[in-house]
């Protein structure tokens, strides 16, 4: 992969000078089109130490309009980052549509460095690279243009560059002991990088390996690659996706219909059980922190299924400072201009905390599918994206349980009518609820697909017979308590 970047490509001073004004103008034009476009740009700059990633970034930034543009580089993770999945720090800075981010290190840095220093083995590296491929595919699908540049220097070239920098009083500080230490591991580094680049060199996010021994060649080529990628994307224009309602039909004996909706609890039994469960939950909830764990509970189900009531039985049991309730409503404009999972990554709990989602990212494959807010290709790939998301959460120590509170159609009708009659419940019933009800079958079928495709060992779906509220509350609490008992040592 790197041989082609060791051929000694150079650009003369004159050629460079002649080229630059044209490049600048074109680049600025492309940036202005980006600002008005419906995609965002991430320029990922990787490569060998000493190849001039920062130098290149500074030059291109000088040529661009600074507005709507950020440069990122990450050092040691902060404690807020450490308490969340690896990708959280990158989600935090995802640029919105029309904006650009330059990254001087990235999701490649830790996997590569970890392997070079033998903190991980080949299998672990490959697993990390698989996650990267998934992540970049999601970005591409969600209208983030990712341009990946890799600046290469041969071993000799790196040594020469580091020596050069050391001799220059203005740039001496750029060379640290770390760089020389790294230089000694050049061959190993190269091998790991070659493997990483090969595995992540995908159609939707290809690598551009650029010879960096001549600065002018590096900057001109890097800029051209960026420019061409931008121009190509701009030409595509608004990527037309067809969004139309998808109204799947439920199978006759699906998992929801097989639920025994007659299950119920008497008030006395309920009182006895709920009190005991709440007590246990209270105790368990305070142990999360010490064990470096967090918990996510997601609730879905038809309108009036009693999600709110269930959630209150949980929140009542614990210290209010331990949980955050996220009720999913319409996204804000900052959320709308980013991949749809962004708003959920934003709200991830720290260690020791619960985040309870009253409706969740599953909206993508439920309401967005049925109502046609998401295109078929969008909600179809969402199953995989969601599984990858939850796998990362679980890997970072988050205990996850997802609840589908089921309800029979008759019982929903009864509750709707009851809500209309009770003054302080009236706000709970809207036109939209009636409209959703008309699509009962499609929602049920979509829910079955969802459970089938996203119930995993680390993030299982729990179907709850919700016709009897008391039964439902006890079942959910029991599940939460058991999940905690199983998850905590």
Which positions lie near a second copy, rule CB under 8 A?
A: 21, 24-25, 28, 32, 54, 57-58, 61-62, 65-75, 78-80, 102, 104, 169-170, 173-174, 275, 278-279, 282-283, 286, 308, 311-312, 315-316, 319-321, 323-325, 327, 329, 332-334, 350, 358, 423-424, 427-428
Nearer to a second copy among residue 160 and residue 359 (C-beta): 359
Nearer to a second copy among residue 215 and residue 428 (C-beta): 428
* CB 35, min distance to a second copy, A: 10
* CB 100, min distance to a second copy, A: 12
Nearer to a second copy among residue 21 and residue 252 (C-beta): 21
* CB 259, min distance to a second copy, A: 26
For the record, the structure tokens of 204 come out as 């939707």
* CB 410, min distance to a second copy, A: 26
Query: Residue 160 CA to chain centroid, in angstroms?
Result: 40
* CB 76, min distance to a second copy, A: 10
Nearer to a second copy among residue 358 and residue 433 (C-beta): 358
* CB 97, min distance to a second copy, A: 12
User: In angstroms, rounded to a whole number, what is the distance separating the alpha carbons of residues 26 and 49?
Assistant: 29
* CB 274, min distance to a second copy, A: 11
Cβ neighbourhood burial of 86 (10 Å; 0-12, 13-18, 19+): middle
Nearer to a second copy among residue 219 and residue 444 (C-beta): 219
Nearer to a second copy among residue 174 and residue 381 (C-beta): 174
Nearer to a second copy among residue 58 and residue 409 (C-beta): 58
Nearer to a second copy among residue 250 and residue 339 (C-beta): 339
Nearer to a second copy among residue 24 and residue 155 (C-beta): 24
* CB 239, min distance to a second copy, A: 23
* CB 48, min distance to a second copy, A: 17
């Amino acid at each position: 992969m790197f041989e082609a970047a060791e051929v000694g490509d150079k650009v003369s001073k004159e050629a460079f000078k002649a080229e630059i004004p044209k490049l600048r103008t074109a680049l600025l034009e492309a940036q202005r089109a980006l600002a008005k476009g419906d995609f965002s740009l991430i320029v990922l700059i990787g490569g060998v130490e000493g190849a001039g990633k920062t130098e290149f970034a500074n030059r291109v930034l000088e040529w661009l309009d600074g507005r709507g543009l950020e440069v990122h580089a990450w050092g040691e993770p902060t404690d807020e980052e450490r308490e969340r999945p690896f990708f959280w720090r990158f989600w935090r800075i995802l640029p919105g549509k029309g904006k650009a981010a330059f990254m001087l290190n990235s999701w490649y840095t830790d996997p590569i460095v970890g392997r070079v220093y033998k903190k991980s083995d080949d299998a672990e590296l490959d697993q990390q690279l698989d996650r990267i491929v998934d992540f970049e595919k999601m970005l591409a699908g969600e209208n983030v243009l990712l341009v990946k540049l890799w600046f290469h220097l041969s071993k000799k070239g790196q040594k020469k560059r580091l020596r050069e920098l050391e001799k220059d009083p203005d740039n001496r500080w750029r060379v640290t002991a770390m760089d020389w230490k790294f230089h000694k591991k050049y061959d190993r580094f190269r091998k790991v990088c070659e493997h990483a680049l090969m595995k992540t060199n995908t159609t939707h996010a290809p690598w551009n390996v650029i010879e960096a021994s001549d600065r002018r060649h590096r900057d001109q080529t890097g800029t051209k690659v960026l420019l061409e990628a931008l121009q190509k994307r701009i030409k595509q224009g608004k990527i037309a996706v067809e969004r139309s309602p998808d109204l799947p039909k439920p199978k006759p004996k699906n998992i929801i219909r097989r639920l025994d909706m007659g299950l119920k609890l008497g008030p006395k039994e309920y009182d006895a059980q709920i009190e005991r469960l709440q007590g246990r939950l209270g105790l368990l909830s305070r142990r999360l922190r010490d064990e470096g764990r967090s918990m996510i509970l997601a609730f879905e189900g038809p309108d009036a299924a009693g999600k709110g009531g269930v959630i209150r039985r949980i929140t009542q049991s614990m210290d209010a400072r331990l949980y955050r309730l996220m009720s999913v409503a319409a996204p804000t404009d900052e959320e709308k201009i980013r991949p749809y999972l962004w708003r959920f990554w934003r709200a991830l709990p720290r260690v020791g905390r619960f985040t309870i989602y009253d409706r969740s990212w599953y909206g993508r494959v439920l309401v967005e599918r049925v109502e046609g807010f998401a295109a078929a290709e969008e909600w179809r790939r969402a199953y995989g994206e969601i599984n990858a998301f939850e796998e990362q959460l679980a890997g970072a120590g988050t205990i996850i349980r997802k609840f589908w509170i089921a309800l029979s159609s008759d019982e929903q009708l009864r509750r709707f009518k009851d809500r209309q009659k009770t003054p302080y419940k009236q706000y709970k019933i809207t036109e939209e609820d009636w409209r959703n009800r008309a699509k009962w079958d499609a929602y049920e079928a979509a829910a079955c697909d969802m459970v089938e495709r996203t119930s995993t060992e680390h993030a299982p779906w729990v179907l709850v017979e919700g016709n009897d509220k008391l039964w439902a509350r006890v079942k959910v609490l029991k599940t939460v308590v058991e999940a905690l008992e199983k998850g905590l040592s």
